Amino acid sequence: MKFLAGVGVLLAATVMLSGCSSDYVMATKDGRMILTSGKPNIDKDTGLVSYTDQSGNKMQINGDDISTMIER
């Protein structure tokens, strides 16, 4: 019985944590819309924005090319 309770707690924690990662939409100055999986990271030194696209690929874009970034 304790095993089932432990599995239930782990399952609930997994569901709750999966809801914490928010997707973002970035609009570029040339009119493209980029959907990200998770929050993009902005490197202040280089000006590059790193993100993971919907397919799971790690990508980078110049921060100057982004006009808007909103949470979806």
CA count, 13 A, side-chain hemisphere, 70? 5
- The letter for the amino acid at 33 is M
Note every long-range contact of 37-42, with CB atoms under 8 Å and residues 24 or more positions apart, other chains counting. 39/71, 40/69
Q: How much is the pTM?
A: 0.69
CB 69 within 8 Å of CB 25: yes
Domains annotated for the chain, with CATH where assigned, are 22-71 (2.30.30.100)
User: pLDDT of 28-55, one tens digit each?
Assistant: 999 999 999 999 999 999 999 999 999 9
Residue 14: is its pLDDT beyond 70? no
